[in-house]
Amino acid sequence: MNVKIALLGCGTVGSGVLELLTLQRESLEASMDLHFSIDSILVRDKARYKEAPFENLLTTDFDELLKGKPDLLIELIGGIEPARTYILKAIEQGCHIITANKDLLAEHGYEIFKKANEHHVSIGFEASVGGGIPIIKPLKDSLRNGGIHRIEGIVNGTCNYILTRMTESDKTYQEALSEAMASGFAESNPHSDVSGLDSARKLCILSTLAFSKRITPKLIYTKGIEQIDYENIQLAKSNGLKIKLVALAIHFDQKIYNAVRPCVIGPNHPFYSIDHEYNGIRLYGHSFGKIQLSGKGAGKMPTASAVFGDFLDYCHGKSDKVLSYSGDKDFSSLQINPEATRWILQITKTPSADELGRILQTFSDHKLSIHQNPVSNGIHLEIEDFLESDLIERLSLLREWCPQINVLPMLYLN
Ligand SMILES: NC(=O)c1ccc[n+]([C@@H]2O[C@H](COP(=O)([O-])OP(=O)(O)OC[C@H]3O[C@@H](n4cnc5c(N)ncnc54)[C@H](OP(=O)(O)O)[C@@H]3O)[C@@H](O)[C@H]2O)c1
């Protein structure tokens, strides 16, 4: 088999993919009778790659690259445009695709897979969620009929790193963010990470595959970590809990709830020990029970290895040509958690006796446990089996009664 490869992008992940292809060439040629060539590499600025061993393969002209009639296009430039246009053009020419681009798949996955189906080409996208964690393939293959009804994920390493550092080193949000930037765990513009958008886009991909419905980012209730401050972390910590950004999808009847939101994690939940840049994804299925995968959710070599796995699948003829990205819009999307669940309400400033009375009165018909932080005097209130719709109603009452107190409600996973 001879494979002509065109690579779009040679940055963090692209350079890792080149390294793996170079390293594995001999053994692949010997064991699989596979011959491949990297014919062309698209970048924006050739000057940045002066004296690189692949300098002669560089181009800034996509149409020129496509004229070389590659069999396989590996897209690692990221972003929506021009990646979308390039991929669609390549598909029309019968080119198979591998991409790590979660932004593009979350926003335009349906369009891309529809076109791929029309032109009988495959799309490999293992690297789009969870970096080196193999989650896409199990969702498409072995777990496909497992009756998945719930997904929980820590899918953004930047947020997990920031929250971990705030917890273990008593840093403020700004201090932990600066540290994450300095050590390469956050980009210079971290907006899409800390706002929850990146997690929401990854959840779109997981949820679409798991439930065979067309889930788009606008259907996902999204809240990031920017409002989590030092006091919130300290209150959780003083109760033996951690705060983490969780992507959550729940399916029941024809309804699907998708959310990205900071949650309080108890010590019995496996996410409690997923710290720093690590990611974790937990699937709940009617037939298989619970499965959890964890590992490095980003980085040059973990992500490159997921791309390389897709490359091997393509060479083995294993990449499916079937539309695996559903177009089914027949479901109700919920913005409010449908389950009666546990909640933690954090009030970081000491309430007055009157305010405390109001708080207790608001939730008096429910099983409550209240903890007061001995240092900050903040209040940490736990409520069992409570519907989010009821919670919203009672919190709005409370805000009317005590407009000056700031209550942060968080889902409690334990
Ligand atoms: N980094 C990770 O850990 C990670 C993890 C999972 C998924 N991903 C995904 O992998 C993809 C690549 O990420 P990365 O971190 O490798 O990005 P990166 O380091 O910024 O590299 C991007 C590469 O693409 C080229 N490029 C960007 N825009 C281009 C354009 N319009 N035309 C031609 N070339 C262009 C850049 O060329 P110049 O250098 O000339 O600008 C550079 O070579 C993204 O979709 C990202 O979401 C990354």
For 163-209, the pLDDT digits (tens) are 999 999 999 999 999 999 999 999 999 999 999 999 999 999 999 99
User: pLDDT category, 290, cuts 50, 70, 90?
Assistant: very high
The binding-site residues of ligand 1, defined as CB within 6 angstroms of any ligand atom, are 9-14, 42-45, 48, 76-78, 82, 100-102, 127, 131, 298-299, 303
3-state DSSP assignment of residue 4: strand
Q: Which of 202, 213, 242, 244 is catalytic?
A: 202
| Alpha carbon separation from 361 to 356, 365, 388 (Å, rounded) | 8, 8, 18
Protein residue with its CA nearest to atom 28 in ligand 1: 77
Per the listing, tokens 């001995």 go with 374
pTM comes to 0.96
| Integer CA distances (angstroms), 341 to 113, 386, 391, in order | 37, 5, 11
What's the CA-to-centroid distance between 8 and ligand 1, angstroms? 8
Tens-digit pLDDT profile for residues 354-367: 998 999 899 988 88
Mean pLDDT in residue range 358-381:
86
Instruction: Supply φ then ψ for residue 51, to 5 degrees.
Output: 70, 10
Question: CB neighbours (10 Å) of residue 53?
Answer: 9
Q: Is the pLDDT of residue 1 over 70?
A: yes
What per-residue confidence (pLDDT) applies to 381? Answer: 93
Which amino acid does the sequence have at 153? G
Q: Return the ligand 1 atom nearest residue 78 CA.
A: 45
Give residue 251's pLDDT: 95
- pLDDT in the model for residue 215: 95
Residue 168, SS3 per DSSP? helix
Q: 21 CB contacts (<8 Å, ≥6 apart)?
A: 5, 36, 38, 308, 311
20: buried, middle or exposed (CB in 10 Å: 19+, 13-18, 0-12)? middle
Active site residue 67: no
Mean per-residue pLDDT, 98-126: 95
- Site to probe by mutation for ligand 1, drawn from 48, 55, 303, 308 as the one with most ligand atoms within 8 Å of Cβ, is 303
| Nearest CA-CA partner of 274 in 232, 240, 242 | 242
Cβ atoms of 244 and 412 within 8 Å: the answer is no
**Residue with CA closest to ligand 1 atom 27:** 77
Question: What average pLDDT does this structure show over 207-231?
Answer: 95
Instruction: Indicate whether 231 pLDDT > 60.
Output: yes
Q: Are 228 and 410 in contact (CB under 8 A)?
A: no
- Cα(76) to ligand 1 centroid in Å equals 5
Give me the pLDDT at residue 321, please. 54
CA dist 206 and 263 (Å) reads 19
Å from CA of 274 to ligand 1 middle: 27
Cα 81 to Cα 157: distance, rounded to the nearest angstrom: 24
Angstrom CA distances, 379 to 15, 171, 346, 405, stand at 49, 20, 6, 11
CA torsion angle 135 137 142 148 (round to 10): 50
Given a cut of 70, whether residue 62 has pLDDT beyond it is: yes
295-319: pLDDT as tens digits: 999 999 999 999 999 999 999 888 7
DSSP track, 117-156: HHTT--EE-GGGSSTTS--HHHHHTTTTTS-EEEEEEE--
Query: Considering the chain, what is the average pLDDT of its residues?
Result: 94
pLDDT reported for residue 324: 62
pLDDT tens profile 313-348 = 999 888 765 546 778 888 999 999 999 999 999 998
- 212 φ/ψ sector (left φ>0, alpha ψ -120 to 50, else beta): left
Ligand 1 centroid–CA 82 distance in Å is 12
Whole-angstrom distance, CA of residue 103 vs CA of residue 210: 18
What integer pLDDT is reported at residue 350 of this predicted model? 84
pLDDT value at position 52? Answer: 92
Q: What is the mean pLDDT of residues 95-118?
A: 96
CB burial readout 196-211, b (16+ within 10 A) else e: bbbbbbbbbbbbbbbb
Residue carrying the six token digits 């399916």? 251
Three-state secondary structure along 203-272? HHHHHHHHHCCCCCHHHCEECCCCCCCHHHHHHHHHCCCEEEEEEEEEEECCEEEEEEEEEEECCCCHHH
pLDDT score at 373: 78
